Chains A and B, each alone.
Chain A
């Protein structure tokens, strides 16, 4: 509000970087790597500045900028950040430089690679800060383009199919969401998220959509808002993803180059959860409550089935891909559980804010942990000459102890060991969700167990046991590689021991969200 366009600068920095890098000739690899990192660092600087200037007591989106764009269709350039946006922006800003640093093995078309990665980051920044659907949707869709090319150009052997499947699958969700939003626009004449959320909470949105039913006589009045809800839901469910909309993910994550997978799992998957929190829950609380039981079951299925699927995988990257679905399932469980009861009873408010705090923390923590896990998988793949089957290694601890130790920290963070970051988020989700949705939460615990089993199996097979003689000369992590992962690992400890650092910033936003779920 102070007139300094911080968010615009934040989004424009990687965008400018993408353009600059696209113009660099292919041969200048070092220059391209340096510039890419410089732009990513600049993005991180803006994000940290945003974090520092953020007023943690205010509930309304801060740093707002608002300009008329296309008045006839209610499109505005409208950005702002609340605690949720802030956290996600920071996550994107932290993961991108690590992803770029971990992309040493990319040797072809380096400038283009850096350019697409920065473009993707701009899309993520834009998605997390936009407050008008039109403007938001541009970034939401445009982030697909760099992701498509990153997979297509630098991916594994099956990259073409993976890229197309990823793109078209996500597009189905996006178009369904777009159609729903167009119906919403027709009914309300607004694309403004804040305004629509207000209308959604008061029930005005459903009422306005009901009027529209004349054109579609087969549906009863209650069903039309449900259809509209279903469209938006599909868009986010594919992105998160929620089982059974997840089939694009394992292929995309395992075919994409390591740096891209880090961004896909670390940040892009959060776009879906972000959408649930920013758009779906505020706008359709009533509709979500109508279908709450199936939603809870979907979340449980996502948690349990993906954990079991991860257990059955032989490919390290596919294990982590399914584990990623599993961890995001907890976020959705937490969100859905908060919708179970209405009313302003103090106990429920407490549980809701606990669960939502957990959800936000989990989003950030999973982003950090999962991208590090993929980073380690990438290091191992480079050393193994492209091999990454969990049975193809064995006993590596003896030759690469530091690699083993650092990766072990991430693995334990991922399975929720207290003292590391993963624990706090999952604990808060379970604490908040259990009293509200007891059975679903209880069943989800199975997911926790299976996660522990498969992650320990990975550790066991790859690092322990008799040394596979083939890898007797496997080099340990170089200093450069250690420095790539150390800052993030330190952050994992810091957040595990002192989560208040994040909770303090987001608490006002979470309290508001929890409060708004009363109705």
Chain B
């Protein structure tokens, strides 16, 4: 059933393309139905595949016999959690692009193609197939930004595309090398993970593949595409970019680089953990001094993805499940933050400059946006009761064991996180200047129903997962005990 998440998205692409250009409403409706169907399938799939997170094969056909390439889709708990995230983020993204009129047909076609590719990556257990889907997700990204973007869109789109392609090239080189070294018989992840690659090979193959993927996860110092790309992207695209696409990178790093090359991981682990922590603190510090509202959120994403990477490097059960939970949580919360900034604020105030927003008193003019941002902001700074807290908590527990100093530094990142979130909240919504002369600006259009539905949906998810994370943790935890992670478990402390 889960495989249909991929198919339904591509069917959606075709359906949208068949509609005439001027039927914008119908196009939107079709896109929404496709996204909702994907979400429904994800939920149903989770229910049906059992809640224990064990590995399930969905479909496995020989694809290219001579090369050992299979059409192999499957799911373990990690896949399920991320597929669920994709479903939620895709639906919310469409609700927040309800106002797209300009070339709506192409917009939604690219959008659904991106979603389909993302679902595909999360469900592929054949390395070649995974790579195909991975590339499929990157290409629409470029067009979404370059055509519908705002500030510096060509530059942002190009930078994103170049970084992504360099990353992909590194990944491709690494997996082809692994395929050759392992005897060129199979691309099956489970088979490859069993193969004992020589340590000298892992020494260079691991960083190649890991960094190749992690570029997309915003690994410092390869993160520079992220803030600019987020800012340039249209709202729905930045929601997907932060919500889902950055997770592709982290997911690939975990699923491919870390499982295939555990010895390489052991060698490079400290270095990458250091980069992750630098990313956490650096991203937070840079976010603290931004004047563009969206850049604040863009850099906060770099900071929060640092937690994911730090969690991965702990290589223990708590830290790893924290990393996966953080992927989910950041997807929801960052999506919400981008929705507020890009759609609710920018589309109405036509500025993202915090100084200008301070004058407008949006807390009065757009109370719903202000409340949503406040909730999302508190969730983002890791306040207990929201999903971010449980995730970062687990990452930090894991990090205490592996790298106590880094855990302490990451704590510093949380404090700075509180500072920049409050700064943005105060400036954007509760400026002091504004309250003294409120009413000086013409009224802004009110928040529409789709926006409200989308925001409430995302807030609900963040709170439910925050208060009852067991729902997802029960899926994630057992995943690490499948044979795929044998090598990893041997290297870490489980």
Q: How far is the CB of B436 from chain A (nearest CB, A)?
A: 11
A69 and B414 CA atoms in complex are apart in Å by 25
A163 and B418 CA atoms in complex are apart in Å by 12
A172 and B418 CA atoms in complex are apart in Å by 9
Task: Tell me if B432 counts as interface (CB < 8 A to partner A).
Answer: yes
Contact, CB under 8 Å: B430 / A215 = no
Q: How far is the CB of A516 from chain B (nearest CB, A)?
A: 28
Contact, CB under 8 Å: B393 / A145 = no
Q: How far is the CB of B398 from chain A (nearest CB, A)?
A: 8
Chain A residues, Cβ within 8 Å of B383:
141-142, 144-145
Given A145-B378, A179-B411, A182-B407, A168:B400 Cβ within 8 A: no
Chain A residues, Cβ within 8 Å of B321:
72
Contact, CB under 8 Å: B404 / A164 = no
Across the A-B interface, the 4 shortest Cβ-Cβ residue pairs: A138-B384, A171-B418, A175-B411, A216-B404
Tell me the residues in window 450-481 of chain B with beta carbons closer than 8 Å to chain A beta carbons.
Answer: 468-470, 473, 477
A179 and B413 CA atoms in complex are apart in Å by 12
Binary A-proximity of B395-437 (CB < 8 A = 1, otherwise 0): 0110011111101100110110011001100100010100000
The residue in chain A whose Cβ has the minimal distance to the Cβ of B414 is A175
Chain B residues, Cβ within 8 Å of A141:
383-385
Task: Tell me if A183 counts as interface (CB < 8 A to partner B).
Answer: yes
A183 and B411 CA atoms in complex are apart in Å by 13
14 other A-B residue contacts (CB within 8 Å) besides A182-B400, A216-B404? A70-B469, A70-B473, A141-B383, A168-B419, A171-B418, A172-B415, A175-B411, A175-B412, A178-B393, A182-B396, A185-B397, A212-B400, A215-B402, A216-B405
Task: Tell me if A137 counts as interface (CB < 8 A to partner B).
Answer: yes
Task: Tell me if A453 counts as interface (CB < 8 A to partner B).
Answer: no
Contact, CB under 8 Å: A186 / B400 = yes
Contact, CB under 8 Å: B432 / A164 = no
Contact, CB under 8 Å: B422 / A168 = yes
Chain B residues, Cβ within 8 Å of A142:
383-385
Given A138-B384, A179-B408, A186-B401, A168:B415 Cβ within 8 A: yes
Q: How far is the CB of B426 from chain A (nearest CB, A)?
A: 6
Binary B-proximity of A146-170 (CB < 8 A = 1, otherwise 0): 0010001100000010011001100
Tell me the residues in window 174-190 of chain A with beta carbons closer than 8 Å to chain B beta carbons.
Answer: 175-176, 178-179, 182-183, 185-186
Binary A-proximity of B306-329 (CB < 8 A = 1, otherwise 0): 000000000000100100000000
Task: Tell me if A312 counts as interface (CB < 8 A to partner B).
Answer: no
Task: Tell me if B390 counts as interface (CB < 8 A to partner A).
Answer: yes
Q: How far is the CB of A277 from chain B (nearest CB, A)?
A: 22
A-B contacts, 13 of them at CB < 8 A, read A72-B321, A73-B393, A167-B422, A178-B393, A179-B408, A179-B411, A182-B400, A183-B404, A183-B407, A186-B401, A215-B402, A216-B404, A216-B405
Q: How far is the CB of A406 from chain B (nearest CB, A)?
A: 35
Q: How far is the CB of A110 from chain B (nearest CB, A)?
A: 15
A160 and B385 CA atoms in complex are apart in Å by 25
Contact, CB under 8 Å: B405 / A138 = no
A216 and B404 CA atoms in complex are apart in Å by 7
Chain A residues, Cβ within 8 Å of B473:
70, 72
A239 and B412 CA atoms in complex are apart in Å by 18
A261 and B39 CA atoms in complex are apart in Å by 47
Given A142-B383, A176-B411, A183-B404, A164:B426 Cβ within 8 A: yes
Binary B-proximity of A196-231 (CB < 8 A = 1, otherwise 0): 000000000000000010011000000000000000
Contact, CB under 8 Å: B393 / A182 = yes
Contact, CB under 8 Å: A186 / B397 = yes
Secondary structure at the B interface, as helix, strand, loop or mixed, is helix
Max chain A Cβ within 10 angstroms of own Cβ: one of B318, B393, B405, B430: B393
Contact, CB under 8 Å: A73 / B397 = yes
Chain B residues, Cβ within 8 Å of A178:
393, 396, 411
Chain A residues, Cβ within 8 Å of B394:
73
The residue in chain B whose Cβ has the minimal distance to the Cβ of A26 is B367
Tell me the residues in window 102-132 of chain A with beta carbons closer than 8 Å to chain B beta carbons.
Answer: none
Contact, CB under 8 Å: A71 / B396 = no
The residue in chain B whose Cβ has the minimal distance to the Cβ of A224 is B404
Q: How far is the CB of B407 from chain A (nearest CB, A)?
A: 6
Q: How far is the CB of B92 from chain A (nearest CB, A)?
A: 23
Chain B residues, Cβ within 8 Å of A171:
381, 414-415, 418
Contact, CB under 8 Å: A71 / B470 = yes
Interface residues of B (CB under 8 A from A): 318, 321, 378, 381, 383-385, 390, 393-394, 396-397, 400-405, 407-408, 411-412, 414-415, 418-419, 422-423, 426, 430, 432, 468-470, 473, 477
Chain B residues, Cβ within 8 Å of A186:
397, 400-401
The residue in chain A whose Cβ has the minimal distance to the Cβ of B392 is A178
A345 and B390 CA atoms in complex are apart in Å by 46
Chain A residues, Cβ within 8 Å of B477:
72
A479 and B92 CA atoms in complex are apart in Å by 55
Q: How far is the CB of B421 from chain A (nearest CB, A)?
A: 10
Contact, CB under 8 Å: A152 / B384 = no
Q: How far is the CB of B310 from chain A (nearest CB, A)?
A: 13
The residue in chain A whose Cβ has the minimal distance to the Cβ of B321 is A72
The residue in chain A whose Cβ has the minimal distance to the Cβ of B384 is A138
A201 and B401 CA atoms in complex are apart in Å by 24
A451 and B321 CA atoms in complex are apart in Å by 54
A18 and B384 CA atoms in complex are apart in Å by 18
Chain B residues, Cβ within 8 Å of A72:
318, 321, 470, 473, 477
Chain B residues, Cβ within 8 Å of A145:
378, 383
Question: Could you say which of A138, A152, A212 contacts B426, with CB atoms under 8 Å apart?
Answer: A152
Contact, CB under 8 Å: B422 / A182 = no
Q: How far is the CB of B280 from chain A (nearest CB, A)?
A: 13
Q: How far is the CB of A190 from chain B (nearest CB, A)?
A: 12
The residue in chain A whose Cβ has the minimal distance to the Cβ of B469 is A70
Q: How far is the CB of B320 from chain A (nearest CB, A)?
A: 12
A476 and B285 CA atoms in complex are apart in Å by 53
A134 and B473 CA atoms in complex are apart in Å by 16
Contact, CB under 8 Å: B397 / A182 = yes
Q: How far is the CB of A229 from chain B (nearest CB, A)?
A: 15
Chain B residues, Cβ within 8 Å of A160:
426, 430, 432
A420 and B397 CA atoms in complex are apart in Å by 48
Q: How far is the CB of B472 from chain A (nearest CB, A)?
A: 10
Chain B residues, Cβ within 8 Å of A212:
400-401, 404
Max chain A Cβ within 10 angstroms of own Cβ: one of B381, B384, B385, B473: B384
Chain B residues, Cβ within 8 Å of A153:
430
Max chain B Cβ within 10 angstroms of own Cβ: one of A73, A176, A216: A73
A178 and B400 CA atoms in complex are apart in Å by 12
Given A142-B385, A171-B418, A70:B401 Cβ within 8 A: no
Q: How far is the CB of B355 from chain A (nearest CB, A)?
A: 15
Question: Could you say which of B384, B396, B397, B418 contacts A168, with CB atoms under 8 Å apart?
Answer: B418
Chain B residues, Cβ within 8 Å of A183:
400, 404, 407
Given A168-B418, A183-B404, A138:B396 Cβ within 8 A: no
Chain B residues, Cβ within 8 Å of A175:
411-412, 414-415
A176 and B409 CA atoms in complex are apart in Å by 11
Chain A residues, Cβ within 8 Å of B423:
164
Contact, CB under 8 Å: A138 / B419 = no
Max chain B Cβ within 10 angstroms of own Cβ: one of A71, A145, A215: A215
Contact, CB under 8 Å: A164 / B422 = yes
Q: How far is the CB of B415 from chain A (nearest CB, A)?
A: 5
Chain A residues, Cβ within 8 Å of B422:
148, 163-164, 167-168
Chain B residues, Cβ within 8 Å of A167:
418, 422
Q: How far is the CB of A271 from chain B (nearest CB, A)?
A: 15
Chain B residues, Cβ within 8 Å of A163:
422
Contact, CB under 8 Å: A215 / B411 = no
The residue in chain B whose Cβ has the minimal distance to the Cβ of A137 is B384
A141 and B418 CA atoms in complex are apart in Å by 12
A137 and B411 CA atoms in complex are apart in Å by 16
A141 and B379 CA atoms in complex are apart in Å by 12
A138 and B385 CA atoms in complex are apart in Å by 6
A153 and B370 CA atoms in complex are apart in Å by 13
Given A145-B383, A175-B411, A70:B418 Cβ within 8 A: no
A188 and B459 CA atoms in complex are apart in Å by 34
Q: How far is the CB of A159 from chain B (nearest CB, A)?
A: 8
